[in-house]
Chain A
Amino acid sequence: MKATRTLATAAALAMTVFAGGALAQDSASDAEFVPENYDMDRGKEVYERVGVCLQCHGWDGAGMGRNPRSVGTAPNLREFPDDAQLLHEIIACGRPYTEMPYHDRNAYSDGRCYDMTMDDFEEGEKPSRGKSIREDDIDNLVAYMLTHMIGAGDTTFAQCEEFYGEGHRNCVPLEGR
């Protein structure tokens, strides 16, 4: 029963999210977000080590990285909308009622995310906090994701070697792809 209610709430919220404009941020909210203007090497580092996004989304964003001891299923970011503002918002605010954590340390202290604070959530349904990512680094991360994941199609061997380095054993199973 609880699961059903949670899913319904999440769906409602997701609609709000996709309608856009829930978050007022300066940088990524510009209509023109040019990834090349940001530090993509740093973005990769944030994906890998700061936010540890690959724990759930996989190194390639395919959503196959999830820890078997963790909960939830991460979406395939390679099929995600090409929308810098939406990405920035979800990284900062998380997606309440799902396993996606927020990465802005103050996301739910002053209403900056969805006009909500922690008190607006019932016990047991409060958003979970991920690793903190600084504002500039969220932009770097968004730039990296837009360039290397969003719309990138099926994962390839070349992409793997670009991520891990040439000859890395993690890429062996992808040979020929």
Chain B
Amino acid sequence: MKTTTTSVAALAATGLLASALALSADPATPERIAMSASGDEAANWLTVHGNYSSHRFSELNGITPDNVGDLRLAFAVPLGGTEPSAFGAGAMETTPLVKDGKMYVSDPWGTPYKIDVSSGKMGQIEWICDTAIDKDPSLGIIVANRGLALSGDLVVSNLPDGRVVACDDASGDIVWEKQTATEPGEGFSGAPLAVGDKIIVGQSFGDWATRGWIAALDAATGDEVWRFYTVPEPGQPGSETWLCEESGNPDCWKTGGAAAWVTGSYDPESNTLIYGTGNPVPMFDPEYRPGDNLYSNSAVALDADTGELKWHFQYTPGDYLDYDEVGSHLLIDQEIDGEMRKVVAHFGRNGIFYNLDRSNGSFINSGQYVEQLNWTPGIDPKTGKPVNYDPNASLQAYAEDVTMRRDGGPIENCPHLQGGINFWPTAYNPQTGQAFGHSIEGCSELSVVPVAAEDVITGTIFTGGSNADSGEMDGSILRVNAATGEVDQKVIREYPGYAGVMLTPGIVWVGEMDGTFGAYDADSLEQLWSMNTGGVYKAPAMTYSVDGKQYVAITAGPLGLGSFGHPEIEQTQAANMLYVFSL
């Protein structure tokens, strides 16, 4: 009996000790997240896009253009999640988070890992929050996960199977989990966003014949607080842009897509969320879903407390080239034409850089950033719409010979259907007013393959056409004057951009599909340093510091499908890795 008593007492003591340790870790409060990657929080990267404005810029300046040549690999950590779905091994597209010497990173199936990086010599996995996700190799989904959210003492992941799971920061135990996405085909790819006492998530799998939405959950319980459907139902504002009756299928809006694949931005001053939305579905066959198809291919501004739509701007109405606009929306305060403006800036997948007014979504200016663009003769300088946009037409025809129709032939569209810049993040340096992107340069060949409404099965991929690359694609790293939208520096790279960029003072950080991770001079865009680690980079870098020393981290993984005409990289094997570099 005595032994038992002693053991219980010992356990209790241990428990107390554990609690004390847990308490000693500072939670990710809203105040801390709002300061992420700057000021008192410059050592940390507390939200997926670096800060709420999605700048992916860190003030850390231990690594400079002068000393980056001495950068070396400090340590690496193998991660799991290489189990394939029917579409192959999932891509590593995640951005690690760092809080007080601990790193939080997800694998392609959304499984969170907490890694102690405080020694600077190795990454020690502290826990893996196993969500028991069914890694079913026959699931016809694209496995990809773009990161986690920290909220108080929770580490939150949204999964490809539609669940949202909150893990305890100290133990990795599951605190709550919710099957937030319940319809066939629904699931998540973009990182959740912690805003105040809420977790914002976006349903991602529009192309599986689903209807997109963005929802807010109570961070303490996971209970859903509000949901905004990116495709309105009949009778709601915007429903007049789905002319489903004309297609003979009045329900075409129900599989309309407009998915939220990527984490949005948050403007604390106006308590507004700004998310980009995906393409209308099916992507290549507008005759299935005549009309402008709101709120596809749009920026939507939502009240963070209620989910109410404040404004929207649709980049490419009635799209047929898969020019969705899920990518980063940069919140910028800048002088334009002599006037200080609060702006939303966005590198469109359609090859155009846009500036919008953050208070109402009105168009300010734009500039073409890709080398080849043939889908529109230009952008109307007043409205921001493609010049041949006809608000009264049920089917748009933006350019002769580049318009998709069931009775038309194959077309060649530039930029490539994946962009330009697709889901991978862009960045902005507020110290210089410069925006940076990592782009595909090239074209694709598309044709319509109509599918009858009765043959559309929710949860099954539904594109309404087929596609091929136009030969070998190039890529580019480029800089835009954010105020004018004009490209002022660009370097062409051998491999298409697919990973995105991160900025520190004077340096642009980019990973590439052939396994090259490089640091580029922010002025000349000349490569200052690089290392080839062999895996495929489809994720952007991030940076943090521990005990005053700066580190740069990035994850690499498999190619998956799509070598963009570069067969030499098709044999790259699936090995999910975290790499951390330092001087």
Given A55-B88, A58-B460, A71-B468, are A164 and B562 also a contact pair (CB < 8 Å)?
no
Tell me whether A14 is interfacial, beta carbon within 8 Å.
no
Q: Is the CB of A64 within 8 A of B142?
A: no
Choose from B86, B418, B461, B463 the contact partner of A52 (Cβ within 8 Å). B86
Given A55-B88, A173-B458, A69-B561 contact (CB < 8 Å) = yes
- The answer to whether A37 has its CB under 8 Å from any CB of chain B is no
> In this complex, what residue of B is CB-closest to A59?
B138
* Contact surface of A with B, Cβ cutoff 8 Å: 2-3, 48-49, 52, 54-55, 58-59, 64-73, 124, 155, 163-164, 169-170, 172-174
User: Given the complex, which residues of B lie within 8 Å of A164, measured CB to CB?
Assistant: 138
CA A168 to CA B445, docked complex, whole Å: 36
- On whether the beta carbons of B459 and A173 are closer than 8 Å, the reply is yes
CB<8 Å pairs between A and B, sample of 15: A48-B138, A52-B84, A55-B87, A64-B457, A67-B142, A68-B142, A68-B461, A68-B463, A69-B560, A69-B562, A169-B459, A173-B184, A173-B185, A173-B460, A174-B457
**CB nearest to A72 among chain B residues:** B466
Picked from B86, B418, B466, the residue with its CB within 8 Å of the CB of A55 is B86
**In the complex the two chains form, is B445's CB within 8 Å of A170's CB?**
no
Cα–Cα, bound, A174→B460 (Å): 11
Residues in B133-155 with C-beta less than 8 Å from chain A: 137-140, 142
Q: Is the Cβ of B457 less than 8 Å from the Cβ of A65?
A: no
Cβ–Cβ contact A65 & B140, under 8 A: yes
Contact call A54/B461, Cβ cutoff below 8 A? no
Most buried by A among B137, B457, B463, B560: B457
Beyond A2-B471, A65-B461, A66-B461: 6 further Cβ-contacts under 8 Å?
A64-B461, A69-B561, A70-B561, A72-B468, A173-B184, A173-B460
Question: Complex formed: what's the CA distance from A129 to B466 in Å?
Answer: 21
Which B residues are within 8 Å of any A CB, using their own CB? Answer: 84, 86-88, 137-140, 142, 184-185, 207, 283, 410, 418, 445, 449, 457-463, 466-469, 471, 560-562
CA distance A49 to B461 in the complex (A): 19
Chain B's closest residue to A123 (CB) is B567
Closest to B87 in A: A67
Shortest CB-to-CB span from B442 to chain A, Å, is 14
Closest chain A residue, CB of each to CB of B138: A48
Q: How far is the CA of A43 from the CA of B184 in the complex (A)?
A: 27
Q: Which residues of A contact B560 (CB under 8 A)?
A: 69
The reply to whether A69 and B142 form a contact with Cβ atoms under 8 Å apart is: yes
A48–B468 CA distance with the chains assembled, in angstroms: 25
Query: Is A71 within 8 A of B459, CB to CB?
Result: no
Q: How far is the CA of A54 from the CA of B137 in the complex (A)?
A: 10
For A124, the chain B residues whose CB sits under 8 A away are 471
Contact B445–A54 (Cβ < 8 Å)? no
Do A71 and B469 contact each other (CB < 8 Å), given the known contacts A54-B138, A173-B457, A173-B458? Answer: yes
| Shortest beta-carbon distance from B452 to chain A in Å | 12
- B459–A170 touching, CB < 8 Å: yes
Chain A min CB distance to B136 (Å): 8
Known contacts A54-B86, A69-B142, A72-B466; is-contact A170 B184 (Cβ 8 Å): yes
Give bound CA distance, A174 to B185, whole Å. 12
Interface centre among B138, B184, B449, B560 (most CB of A within 10 A): B138
Within the assembled complex, what's the spacing in Å between the Cα atoms of A9 and B562? Answer: 23
Chain A residues, Cβ within 8 Å of B449 = 73
* Distance to closest chain B CB from A125 (angstroms): 11
B84 CB to nearest A CB, Å: 7
> Does B461 contact A67, Cβ atoms closer than 8 Å?
yes
**In the complex, which of the residues A49, A64, A67, A169 contacts B184, with contact meaning CB atoms closer than 8 Å?**
A169
Asked if A49 contacts B137 (CB within 8 A), the reply is yes
Query: Which residue on A lies nearest to B458, using beta carbons?
Result: A173
CB-defined contacts of B457 to chain A, threshold 8 Å: 64, 155, 173-174
A49 to B560, CA, bound (A): 16
How many Å lie between the Cα of A69 and that of B185 in the bound state? Answer: 17
* A72 neighbours in B (Cβ, 8 Å): 466, 468
Q: How far is the CA of A124 from the CA of B468 in the complex (A)?
A: 14
Q: How far is the CB of A6 from chain B (nearest CB, A)?
A: 10
B-chain residues with CB within 8 Å of residue A48 when the two chains form the complex = 86, 137-138
Of all chain A residues, which has the CB nearest B459? Answer: A173
Give complex CA distance A69, B142 in Å.
Answer: 9
- List residues of chain A with CB within 8 A of the CB of B137: 48-49, 52
A-chain residues with CB within 8 Å of residue B142 when the two chains form the complex? 67-69
A133 CB, min distance to chain B CBs, angstroms: 16
A174 to B84, CA, bound (A): 24
- Shortest Cβ distance from residue B542 to the other chain A in the assembled complex, whole angstroms: 25
* Cβ of B108 to closest chain A Cβ, rounded Å: 14
